[in-house]
A and B are shown apart, each in its own frame.
Chain A
């Protein structure tokens, strides 16, 4: 009786066993991850700046690329406020982007090879892994007038473009 039960159990187990495939494909993929909040300092009445020396905090964005040489990072610093009190005068904007941290030592060359135009900086992501970029942004109100009181919001554009 016991043997019959055992045979039956073994048989049923073998019938129940199934191979469950797990499929995966490694393909180029870019992920843009906002990492650190940026803060504008207000070192003088007519200036807002993210520089640490101005009391600000540099925003940081992380780019993850799965495969090397598939994408470029194109980062545009603000050239206008998306939210602000009414501004009667013009605002002069300056900004820049630079490598902040890398997951591969070779990525530090990104800074040397970056291309800058207008408010935009391009980095060629030639190595797979994660790269953190920090952005500096400065807004100066026209005619040395003080910025009106209120909340100001500007936006960084973090683009990942397939090559």
Chain B
């Protein structure tokens, strides 16, 4: 009957995860004047996800400007990706978190999914 309507799975049923380290990254001077840099490590243990968005946010999780090679990084299953983040020196007082969030391609949205986001706190 109407139940045929649909039943939606929204979490994947097998063990999968992603990790984002270090927990407390520290920015240090870069080779550019008044620009700071730090390096994060993304480890993809999710078979259902290949793309991760990287963002720098303030305390309220509002996005702040930063520079990195990409905003969306591709990380295959069990792949480790080093992510370099650059911010302007004056931004350090506002910036509080560096986060990575799983992203799906529109045409590949699985019926069972969860969006995972891990945020490290800037020291």
Contacts and interface: CB of A to CB of B under 8 A. Distances in A.
Contacts of B114: 32, 34, 59, 61, 155-158
A90 interface: no
Contacts, number: 133
A33 B16 contact: yes
A45 B116 contact: no
A30 interface: yes
Nearest to B48: A34
Interface residues of B, number: 36
B45 A35 contact: no
A40 interface: yes
Contacts of B113: 34, 153, 155
Interface residues of A, number: 46
B38 interface: no
B20 to A, nearest CB: 8
Contact of A36 (B11, B24, B117): B11
Given A30-B20, A31-B17, A153-B111, 12 more contacts: A31-B19, A36-B13, A37-B11, A37-B112, A39-B8, A41-B7, A146-B2, A149-B4, A153-B8, A155-B114, A162-B120, A162-B121
Interface of A: 27-42, 45, 48, 55-56, 59-61, 64, 70-71, 78, 82-83, 146-147, 149-163
30 contacts: A27-B22, A27-B23, A30-B19, A30-B20, A32-B17, A32-B18, A33-B16, A34-B16, A34-B17, A38-B8, A39-B8, A42-B3, A42-B6, A55-B3, A64-B17, A83-B109, A151-B111, A152-B5, A156-B11, A157-B114, A158-B114, A158-B115, A158-B116, A160-B116, A160-B118, A160-B119, A161-B97, A161-B121, A162-B23, A163-B121
